[in-house]
Each structure stands twice: as structure tokens, then as C-alpha cells.
Amino acid sequence: MNESLMSRALNYSKYHALPPLLMLLFFLLLWEGLTAGASATLPAPSQVLSETWELIIDPFYDNGGTDVGMGWQILASLERVAYGFALAVIFGVSLGVLIGQSTLAMRALDPIFQVLRTVPPLAWLPLSLAGFQDSQPSALFVIFITAIWPIIINTSVGIRNIPEDYRNVARVLNLRGVEYFSKIMLPAAAPYIFSGLRIGVGLSWLAIVAAEMLIGGVGIGFFIWDAWNSSKISEIVLALVYVGVIGFILDRSVAWVGNRITRGTSAS
Amino acid sequence: MKEKFLQIEQVDMIFGQGAKAAHVLDQINLTVNQGEFISIIGHSGCGKSTILNVVAGLLDASSGFVLLDDKEIKGPGPERSVVFQNHSLLPWLTVYENVALAVNKAFKGKMSAQQRHDWILRSLDMVHMSHALDRLPSQISGGMKQRVGIARALSLEPKVLLLDEPFGALDALTRAHLQDEVMRIQGELNSTVMMITHDVDEAVLLSDRIVMMTNGPKATIGEILSVNLPKPRNRIEMADNPEYNRCRQAVLSFLYEKQAKVEL
């Protein structure tokens, strides 16, 4: 029993964990080799590690102002994403339901949304700064406006694709209004909604890093910009690693929640 | 037992308008007694499912009306529950929850939570699905799904149970099994049942009367055949029963001689 568990774990790591780890090692070695010469403009991995070691081992120091640990920087960015994304979920799902339910609403709103969704996130920033006169709500607005389009579009597609059978079941059972919405419509559209949320959270994370570079304050985006201005290239590299890993975790978390809620029925 | 329990009066069904209008049903008149098992049989496209949908209230007749227990039906409702062809269980709910959705909606206020729980279990027990309460529809076989679909429909205590080709998507062995179950349950509950089918043996085995539809467009009722056999019926004994074979013969000759369908 224990042995088979052990061998299964070994087998798993052999086929799933080993290849990416080897590849990573290969890339690190390649990078080390390419940046070995004295004329290299970028730091080698070993140099990055030694120069940022202080930051890595103490992620939660606080020297006041923007001089805080990487942990705080990331939490600040995550907080912005959380607020902006939560707003996008509320409005996006509501609008998506409206468009999915009503042909008139779809005809009226869809063309507008199709144009607006192509506007790059950062292009909204000056406008929102002008409107809000403050950097914090502007950053939230950029997150909101970035994440909302895939949520609206996926929700409306999900609502429109609810099988006729489910609608008939609801009609025979006399499920109407709120009951229909919560017991049939949302669960039936949930797989679509969650793929919208997943795209949305990914885009939010892309947008926040860029937006923070411009608005300043505590946050991983401004940390990168600040590091560039003080020529601490190693810190930029470290920040990029963090940004990538956090983005990956965000994406997987939303997928995991979606899977739990739809009970893995998205396939059927 | 009430006579003329379900009355379909002068029902016409026309889809679309103008030149593209399709006249599907023409002057359908049918009276069903309480406790009767009626099958509607006909070639595909003859509008037999449309009749069922009109009785269910999922479609509104273009003209004519349907009375159930002397009341005109308007829209769908739990007293005319439907077993859909492809079971139509909600995939995110377990077997128990699928039936609970129906029971809790229909009997909230009339039964206590405990009574409703017992009623859900009884309904599932009737179709022998008590062993799979916590399974999701994706984890059970097609025949089991249809059993749950039947349990859900029965749990509503409908005045008339509507079966829309309920066994069409099942393999022959599972189908025979479920036909026997439906026959047994109908015998126990004495339900009024209207079943759509294209299977001659199924119609003769289960029905008190078989309604044979002419081919569309403008389909109407061609003949009505009474099956004068005591119930419950045993499918093996039926094989050389003269009345069974007479009925089978009559339906076959209606479908393949009088209403032979020219397949294009």
C-alpha cells in the first residue's frame, strides 16, 4: 500500500515535475552563459540571486513610504485587483445576464461593447485620472474596465446557450424570477461565466502591473519602475518572477473555484 | 375514476405565418379517462410531440383548447409533469437534489421539511434509485438517468403524467426493463399517462388505447385502438397472445400500409 503510493508519487514526479524542472535548469544555464561576459547588459541568474537575497529572505519589512518588502508590494497590487475585479464580476455578470436574456438589450449594447473592449487598458488611465482626480480609484477603474468585457461576453453566451430542456424543466416546475435565476440560469451558465472570470482575472493582473508603473505608490508595478529608475536590474528580474507566479496562482485559483462550483460538469 | 378527465378539443397547431406557415396539427380531438394509459404513435414529423407539448402547456395551441379535470390549461405546471426524451436532469445537481428541486418547489408550505425529505426518498425508491442518491447525472447510466427523470415527474403527484418518447434513447434491454417499471408503477398509482412513442411493441404492451396519427403536414388522429388485455402484462406471455398480436398487427398495418411514409 505504502510502497505503491510511493511509486505512484515517484512516477508522477518523473513524468510531470521532472520535465519542466529540467527545462528550467536548461534556461537558467543558457541565461548564465549568455550573461557571463563583462560586457553583458543584464545580470546573470547567480548575480540576481546574490543582489536580491535581502529582498527574498525578508519580504515583509517596512521602512515607510514605498520602501517596503516584496510581500507588501504584491499584497498592495492584489488588493487593487481584488476590488477592481470584484466590481467587474458584479457588473459584468449582471450585464451579461441582461444581454443574454434580452435580444433588444443585446442589439443595443453588443456593438458598443465590441468596440469598447478593444481599447487597451492603459488607454483608459489618463481619462480615469482626469475623472477621479486621484490615482487609487483610477487604478481600480482600469482593472474594472479591463476585466469586465470577457465577463460580460462569456456570461451572455452562457445564458443564451442554456439548453431548451432546462428551460422546459423550469417551466414545468414553475420556477420563475429569482428561483429560475439562482437554480437554473446561474448554474447552467456557470462554466461559461467562470471561463470569462478566468480571462478577466488574467487581464486584470496584466493591467495592474502596467497601471501601477504610471500611478506610483506601493505596488509591484511601481516597484519595477522604481527599480529601473535606480538601475537595480536584478530587482526587476525578481519582480517579474513574482508577477508571473502570482498571475499563475490567480488563474488557477479561479479555475479551481469554478471547478468546485460547477462540480466538474462543464464538460457535459 | 373520472371519465373525460383530459379533453383535447379541436386543437390546431400552426407554426409561423403567411407563406412560410406550417400547419402541423389539424383538428385534434381526444378524450382520456382517469387512470388510463394512452399512447400516441406515428411516423416522425407527424406532430405527436407537439400534442404532448400542448397538453404540457409548453406550447400554446393556435386554436382549440385542452381541459384537465374540467379546467382549461394555461401554461405549464406541475400537475402535468413531463418525462423528457433525454431525461433533462440538471447536471450540477445530484440524483437526490434533482428530485428535491421539484418536491421542494411543489410542496413547500404543504409538507414539512422532514415530510418532503421522505417523499423524495419514496419517489426515488419507487424507481429503485435509492442507492445512488449522491451521484451526479454524469456518474450514472442512461437508463438510471431516465429512472430519475421518472421519479422527478412522479414526485409532483401529477394529474396526468406526460412521457415524451421516454425510452427512445435507451438500448433495447434497458428499455424493456424500464417499460416494465412504468407498467408496475402505473398499476400501483393508477396514474393517468400520455406517452409519445414510435415503438409498436411498447405502445401495445403499455397502453389501454393507442392513438395513431396520420402523416403531416396537417396531421390528425387516424384511428384509435383499444387494447383489451388485463394489466399487468407480461411481455413473454404476450408473444403468443391473440389479442396482443391483433393489436400489434393493426398498428403495423396503419403505420406501414395506410400511412406508409415515403422517405426522401
pLDDT by residue (tens digit) across A118-169? 999 889 999 999 999 998 899 999 999 999 999 999 999 999 999 998 999 9
Rounded to whole angstroms, how far apart are CA atoms B246 and B264?
Answer: 31
Whether the link from the prior residue into B217 is cis, omega within 30° of 0, is: yes
- In chain A, the residue whose alpha carbon lies closest to the alpha carbon of B105 is A173
Given the C-alpha cell 432546462, which residue does it identify?
Answer: A166
Taking the Cβ of residue B84 and every Cβ of chain A, the question of whether any pair is shorter than 8 Å is answered with yes
Taking the Cβ of residue A190 and every Cβ of chain B, the question of whether any pair is shorter than 8 Å is answered with yes
Q: Which grid coordinates belong to B172?
A: 433495447
Angle value at C-alpha A41, between A36 and A45, nearest 5 degrees: 50
Does pLDDT of B117 surpass 50? yes
HSE-up of residue A225 (Cα within 13 Å, Cβ side): 17
| Closest residue to B136, CB basis, from A171, A172, A265 | A265
**pLDDT at position B264:** 52
Rounded to whole angstroms, how far apart are CA atoms A96 and A153?
Answer: 6
Q: Which 8-state DSSP code applies to residue B215?
A: P
**pLDDT at position B76:** 93
Rounded to whole angstroms, how far apart are CA atoms B243 and B55?
Answer: 30
* Residues in CB range of A146: below 8 A, 6 or more apart: A84, A88, A121, A124, A200, A203, A204, A206, A207
Rg of chain B in Å (alpha carbons): 19
B192-197 and B160-164 strand pairing: parallel
Poorest-pLDDT segment among A44-58, A240-254, B202-216, B233-247: A44-58
CA A120 to chain centre: 16
CB–CB of B92 and A262 under 8 A?
yes
Low-confidence stretches of chain A (pLDDT < 50) are 266-268
CB–CB of B106 and A262 under 8 A?
no
Rg of chain A in Å (alpha carbons): 23
CA proximity to B13, closest of B64, B55, B71, B56: B64
Q: Which domains does chain B have, with CATH numbers?
A: 1-75+208-264 (3.40.50)
* Residues in CB range of A133: below 8 A, 6 or more apart: none
Question: What is the number of CB-based contacts under 8 A between chain A and chain B?
Answer: 58
CB–CB of A168 and B80 under 8 A?
no
Given the C-alpha cell 421522505, which residue does it identify?
Answer: B118
CA proximity to B41, closest of B52, B54, B26: B52
Q: How confident is the model at residue B262 (pLDDT cuts 50, 70, 90)?
A: low
B160-164 and B22-32 strand pairing: unpaired
Given the C-alpha cell 446557450, which residue does it identify?
Answer: A161
**pLDDT at position A28:** 93
**pLDDT at position A2:** 65
CA proximity to A154, closest of A92, A88, A106: A92
| Closest residue to B101, CB basis, from A165, A183, A265 | A183
Given the C-alpha cell 486584470, which residue does it identify?
Answer: A204
Q: How many CB atoms lie within 10 A of CB A220?
A: 25
- Provide the mean pLDDT of chain B: 91
Q: Which grid coordinates belong to A56?
A: 527574498
Q: Which grid coordinates belong to B93?
A: 445537481
DSSP state string for B92-115: TS-HHHHHHHHHHHHHBTTB-HHH
Q: Considering the domain A69-262, what is its CATH architecture?
A: Orthogonal Bundle (1.10)
Rounded to whole angstroms, how far apart are CA atoms A87 and A96?
Answer: 14
Task: Please state, in angstroms and as integers, the Cα–Cα distance from residue A9 to each residue in A1, A2, A21, A25, following that order.
Answer: 12, 10, 16, 22
CB–CB of B78 and A263 under 8 A?
no
Q: How confident is the model at residue B99 (pLDDT cuts 50, 70, 90)?
A: very high
Percent of chain B whose predicted confidence (pLDDT) is above 70: 98
Chain A residues near residue B81 by CB distance under 8 angstroms: 172
CB–CB of A169 and B84 under 8 A?
yes
For chain A, what are the domain ranges?
69-262
- With contact defined as beta carbons under 8 Å apart, do B163 and B53 qualify? no
**pLDDT at position A268:** 39
**Total residues belonging to chain A:** 268
Q: Which 8-state DSSP code applies to residue B210?
A: E
Chain A residues near residue B93 by CB distance under 8 angstroms: 187
**pLDDT at position A264:** 62
Task: Please state, in angstroms and as integers, the Cα–Cα distance from residue A242 to each residue in A203, A221, A236, A237, A245, following that order.
Answer: 16, 11, 10, 9, 5
Q: Which grid coordinates belong to B64?
A: 382549440
Taking the Cβ of residue B76 and every Cβ of chain A, the question of whether any pair is shorter than 8 Å is answered with yes
Chain B residues near residue A165 by CB distance under 8 angstroms: 84, 86, 88
Rounded to whole angstroms, how far apart are CA atoms A86 and A147?
Answer: 10
**pLDDT at position B44:** 84
CB–CB of A179 and B136 under 8 A?
no
pTM: 0.80
Rounded to whole angstroms, how far apart are CA atoms A198 and A176?
Answer: 29
Taking the Cβ of residue A118 and every Cβ of chain B, the question of whether any pair is shorter than 8 Å is answered with no
- With contact defined as beta carbons under 8 Å apart, do A77 and A221 qualify? yes
Rounded to whole angstroms, how far apart are CA atoms A10 and A18?
Answer: 10
B63-68 and B6-15 strand pairing: antiparallel
pLDDT by residue (tens digit) across B127-150? 999 999 999 999 999 999 999 999
Q: Which residues pair with B63 in a beta bridge?
A: B12
Rounded to whole angstroms, how far apart are CA atoms B93 and B99?
Answer: 9
Taking the Cβ of residue B169 and every Cβ of chain A, the question of whether any pair is shorter than 8 Å is answered with no
One-letter-per-residue 3-state SS of B231-261: CCCCHHHHCCCHHHHHHHHHHHHHHHHHCCC
Taking the Cβ of residue A173 and every Cβ of chain B, the question of whether any pair is shorter than 8 Å is answered with yes
Look at B45 and A222; give whichever has higher pLDDT. A222
